[in-house]
Amino acid sequence: MKKIYFVRHAKATGQEPDARLTEEGVRQAEQLSSFMGNAGVEYIVSSPWERALRTIQPLAEQKKLQVYTDLRLQERVLSREHLDHWMDVLKQTYLDEDLKLEGGESSREAADRGIQLVQELIERTEKTIIIVTHGALLSLLIRHYDPQFGFEDWKKLSNPDVYLLELKEAEAKIRRVWTTC
């Protein structure tokens, strides 16, 4: 059986690519390392954004594993323009997966890039893998395996949050295995 853990980064100082973890986020990263310590992780791939890398760093150091980065795990951008009503727009993107604003990605486009990476990871020889990403993209990855997962579920994600995708033959099951809520 192949196991892929989907990890949302710990609490951060902002949404920018270089936003760092807060003091609480640093503690959360240590807690995540403790939780994942016995999971048998063999391979880690992360968004290149600072908060994602810092979230998984304690576990990588503990297990002496390299953290590989992949741009396909960076957060989904709704628009390059400032949106006062961004929550309303985000909600609409769960109803219309092809809705796309200026300079942004549709839900389908963001999900496709993430799923492409997941498919590549499924083909790897390692049996237990961690993907570290961001809330919106994480929700779209989960939704691929659980079509009922939507906007309200995205709102319930925590920082950090961990979902486990278990793949056995042609069957795939995803479930939450750890949260700070």
Report the first-to-last Cα separation within the chain, whole angstroms.
28
Positive or negative, the Cα torsion across 9, 46, 112, 171?
Answer: negative
Angle at 65 between CA 163 and CA 124, to 5 degrees: 65
CATH code of residue 149: 3.40.50.1240
For range 121-140, the mean pLDDT: 98
Structurally, how many domains does the chain consist of? 1
| Owner of token pair 């700070």 | 180
φ/ψ bin of 103: left (φ > 0), alpha (ψ from -120 to 50), beta (otherwise):
left
Give the domain extent around 12. 2-179
Q: What is the pLDDT of residues 46-92, one digit of tens each?
A: 999 999 999 999 999 999 999 999 999 999 999 999 999 999 999 99
Q: What is the pLDDT of residues 15-59, one digit of tens each?
A: 999 999 999 999 999 999 999 999 999 999 999 999 999 999 999
Residue 2 class from Cβ within 10 Å (0-12 exposed, 13-18 middle, 19+ buried)? middle
pTM: 0.96
Q: Is the peptide bond before 48 cis (omega within 30 degrees of 0)?
A: no
Q: How many CB atoms lie within 10 A of CB 123?
A: 7
